[in-house]
Amino acid sequence: MRFKDSIDTVLATSFLQEFVDARRTAGLNNAPPCVRSSSPPKELEGSPDEALSANAGFVSFGIFPRHVEGRKLNRTI
């Protein structure tokens, strides 16, 4: 993610870290895993350098079949 404003960058970084930390909370341990990193994930290998320029890092959510089965789909996405 790239933000023009430094305050937006700090807010976004803090906000996204909450997703990562929330999974450790009791009752949310079955939530989709969230990974935040300053380097691009392997899935983006080969992308143009300008597309990988981020000052707020990268975030990935792991969505597995158990997260979207049946009625869960409407609550997951």
Whether CATH 3.30.1460.20 fits 6-76: yes
Domain boundaries, the chain: 6-76
Distant-in-sequence, close-in-space partners of 56: CB < 8 Å, separation ≥ 6: 1, 2, 3, 8, 9, 12, 13, 16
Q: pTM value?
A: 0.67
**Residue 52 near residue 40 (C-beta atoms within 8 A):** yes
Query: For residue 11, how many other CB atoms are within 10 A of its CB?
Result: 13
Query: Is the backbone of residue 59 left (phi > 0), alpha (psi -120 to 50) or beta?
Result: beta
At 31 the pLDDT is 80
Per-residue pLDDT band at 76 (split at 50, 70, 90): low
What digits encode the pLDDT tens for the residues 25-53? 877 777 888 888 888 989 998 999 888 88
